[in-house]
Amino acid sequence: MKKQLQYLVLALCISVSSSIFAQAPSSQVSQLDSTGKKTGLWIEDYKPIRVFAYYKNGLREGICQVIQQSTGDLYSIGEFKEGIKTGTWYHFNNNFLLSKVYNIESNSQYKRVDGGTIIFPTHTATVIKYHPNGVIRSEGRILFNEDYEAESDDYGIWKYYDEQGVLINTIEFK
């Protein structure tokens, strides 16, 4: 059942992103508005990935698709709002199987202590990571400010599972 859900999510992501990104003629890609800010669909190369993202007022806004440049394989897909990742982000492994899911929210309740200073990161996300066979590998929460891929802290209770889905460890992060 879990593997079927992964394939369904993958199919949905590919069909939505393919139809969205296939619509823009090349003359309308990577444009600047009258003030010099990025606008519309941009295709950006950051080896080893290529990013297909929409911009509004110079900030990423809406659906964003990231692919591996060397293979064209889908790496991740999600949404931006005013330049910040938001909503649910799906990450895939090289076999097109779902490897991670991040459900991002604004943070006003979770905090961490750094050198005696209490810090309230601006965002939190529940995270589910999968084994290659589609079974959950770990699940928990992270705290971050700008981008969870750049820097994040594990927070609260994290559960870890073996490849059969049996709980093997629980760790609490503060």
User: Which pLDDT value is given to residue 161?
Assistant: 98
What is the residue-level pLDDT of the chain in tens, covering all 174 positions?
Answer: 444 444 445 445 554 444 445 555 566 899 999 999 999 999 999 999 999 999 999 999 999 999 999 899 999 999 999 998 999 999 999 888 999 999 999 887 888 777 778 888 889 999 999 999 999 999 999 999 888 888 899 999 999 999 999 999 999 998
User: Which pLDDT value is given to residue 7?
Assistant: 46
- DSSP result, 96-156: S-EEEEEEEEE-SS--EEETTEEE--SEEEEEEEE-TTSSEEEEEEEEESS-TTT--EEEE
Tell me the C-alpha distance between 70 and 79, whole Å: 23
Tell me the C-alpha distance between 174 and 168, whole Å: 20
DSSP β-ladder status, 98-106 and 112-114: unpaired
Positive or negative torsion for Cα 13, 45, 69, 98: negative
